[in-house]
Each structure stands twice: as structure tokens, then as C-alpha cells.
Amino acid sequence: MTATGSRLALLECRACGTTLSSDAVQTVCPTCSGPLFATYDLAHWEAHAWREALAHRAATLWRYRELLPVKDDRSIVTLGEGFTPVIELGTVPRADGLEVWLKDDGLLPTGSFKIRGMSVAVSRAGELGVRQFFVPSAGNAGVALAACAARAGATARIYLPTGTPAVMESACRLYSAEVVREGATIREAGIAARTAEAATGALDMSTLREPFRAEGKKTMGLEIWEEMAPDRMPDAILYPTGGGTGVIGMFRAFLQLIELGLLDRMPRLYAVQPDGCAPIVRALNEGDARARPWNDAQTVAPGLLVPAPFGSERVLEALRESRGGGITVSDASILDAVRDLGQRHGVSASPEGAAPFAALAPLLARGALRPGERVLLYNTGSGIPFLAAGNPGTGPESR
């Protein structure tokens, strides 16, 4: 065994306090069916020496191996994911006075941030003996799982909603995954998937239904910290929110960094959702502890078409405790943002990844963002699959 130095300790349910071993395959909390999260032993750890050591490590998310769950580096399944660039956008119309930056996960293997969670989760599950996986997906998570499973020599079945662009199905099949078309939304695909897979022994890789995808998403926050702290750390981060694991992951990263004495303040986290499917923002506005399912959900951004996010309590907790919030944007403004990011800034963004750009002006207008602040937009995926699917509204003729 070649040890990674992982500080992984136990798995914990934030809802009821149940703790479980991290050395056995776990899904959701056996007591209350809530999400489980990894805990780490950070006591008596030379965190500042670790910070200095990072400069000499490979530019992948596995540079943070002590804060990730894989214990033997021979178990790591990687395509070189992580450490994507942070760029300053410069002048942004209708966002006067803001210093706007963008982190571009569209440059990751498989084209989206989903590879972060899948790489870590498949690696840890494989270390525990799992060889079969399945996931309901709007596209990108399925492609990421298919690629990681292929890399690991494991099998994957991807359940796609019926309206998912064919290019996503083709990408999954390229990596030898089996594809099943079920339901109109990811919620319906998930119900069908869990019914079909109940007796197969395959591990459900749905958002927050296993403990370690969130750990991969945590590297988003760790990278922002390493790339921008201490002098350029953002005041606010705008994040496109469907299932919300990215919000939870960044929040957990910043909490751990504060505990280690490596970060002195938490950026405000803002969830951006389309106005046709905004259960998290509605729950924020109504003061609810969890999100209610959104009826008749629809949006041009398939990755944000999550009408009933599992574990929404933890998403809302992260937004509120970071002193952030949420906002909705129209499909029209999302398509304008896809175009503007490409034509003005040279950034290829999916509709999901462009949604934070669309939220800049309304958040500034309502006073949630203030002139002089540094704001980071999170682009979660490349726009190429969206364009390959023949979607309208992003070319010069749409002005």
C-alpha cells in the first residue's frame, strides 16, 4: 500500500447525528435516510506545512489528497481532473463597479465539473470493492461516471431523461456505458433507476446518495482558495444550482480551511436557478428548512432541471450560513449570457455555467452585490455539447 495520507475519519449524518464507519460501503443514513458526509481528523496536523507542500504537487485535484477519502494512491482513478483556471473578465456591462472573475470547469476532462465528484467517488468505492455503478443524469454526470468507470475497468449504467440531447447519450456509449432512457426529468429518471437497480448490487451515484461525490466537489473551494487567497479571495461566489452538491462542497472546503487556520473568512455563496425550476430559491425566500418539489419544471439548462433536490436542507444551510442567498434568472437571459461570455470574453459556457453571468446585474440591482466587491462566477461546463445539440439563440443573429 502507498498511503495518500488521507485524514478521513468517519461518516456523519448532519440531520440526526448518526456516525458510521468510512471503511464500508455506505449510501444514505440508515436512521433518517439523509445524506452522509465524510469527516476528517484535523487535530495536530501541520496545515501550514501542507499549504507550502502544495506548490510542489501535480496540478490536479488529487494534490489535496489528505482532505480526500482515498487511502491508497493505487486506488485513484483519474483523467487529470482539477486545477482549472480562474480568469478576470474585465469590464462587464450592467455590472459596473464589480471586479468579476470566472472559474472555468468547462476545461475539465469530459467537459464539466461533474468529473470532480465522480473521480473521487469511483476511486473510493473501488477501494472498497465496488465494481458496478449507476446514475440518473441530465447528461454531464452520466458522461463523467461513464468515463471514470471505463478508466477503473468497472461497469456503469446511465439513466437519461427522454429529452436529453443525443450527443450526451453518444458520449456515455463511447465509454462503454449502458444507457437507459426514462422519464421527463432527472427526478423521474432517478425513481426508475432505483427501481430497476434494486437487486443488481450496483452503487447509486446520484447526488448525495453516496458520501464521496461531495468530497470531489469540495476541491472547487480548495482550488479557489489556493488560486485566489489571501489577497484576491472573492467576496461572493455565484453558482448554478441544480442538485446543489457544488454549493455544499465549496462550503465544506471553506469551513475546513477556516478550522485549519488557512482562511480567515467565508465567501458569500449564491445559488442561481432558472425561474422555471427554482425550488432552492423559493425555499430561501419562504424561510423553509427544505425545498418543496417544483411542479411543471422546465428550463433551457438541463443540468438545472432538478425539481426535487435530495438533501436540500444542506444546500440551504450552506447558503444561509455563508450569508449568501439565491436568485432566479430567465431562460432568455441565460441564452444571452452564453452568447456574451463567448463573444465578449472568449469563454465557452453551457447554459448552466452561464446562469451566474446572467445573475450579476439583478444581484447588483438588489444590493446583494456591492460596487467594489470581487465576485467569482462558476462556469460548470463547456458550451460545446449544447451547441452540438443544435440549440438556437446563441449566434449573432439572436441579438
Give the Cα-Cα-Cα angle 225, 230, 232 (nearest 5 degrees). 80
- Number of CB atoms found within 10 A of residue 131's CB: 14
8 three-class SS: strand
Phi-psi map region of 111: left, alpha, beta (phi>0 left; psi -120 to 50 alpha): left
Cell numbers standing for residue 390: 443544435
From 176, 182, 141, 143, select the one nearest 160 (Cα to Cα): 182
Cell numbers standing for residue 50: 501542507
Domain coordinates in residue numbering, the chain: 86-112+211-398, 114-204
Under 8 Å between Cβ of 380 and 113: yes
- Assess if CATH 3.40.50.1100 describes domain 86-112+211-398: yes
| Contact residues for 124 (Cβ-Cβ < 8 A; gap 6+) | 69, 70, 75, 212, 215
| Tens-level pLDDT at each residue, the chain (399 residues) | 689 999 999 999 999 999 999 999 999 999 999 999 999 999 999 999 999 999 999 999 999 999 999 999 999 999 999 999 999 998 898 899 999 999 999 999 999 999 999 999 999 999 999 999 999 999 999 999 999 999 999 999 999 999 998 999 999 999 999 999 999 989 999 999 999 999 999 999 999 999 999 999 999 999 999 999 999 999 999 999 999 999 999 999 999 999 999 999 999 999 999 999 999 999 999 999 999 999 999 999 999 999 999 999 999 999 999 999 999 999 999 999 999 999 999 999 999 999 999 999 999 999 999 999 999 999 999 998 887 766 644 433 332
- Assess if CATH 3.30.1490.20 describes domain 114-204: no
242 three-class SS: coil
The pTM (predicted TM-score) of the whole model is: 0.95
- Tracing cell 494512491 back to the chain, one arrives at 73
- DSSP H or E stretch at residue 271: strand 268-274
38 three-class SS: strand
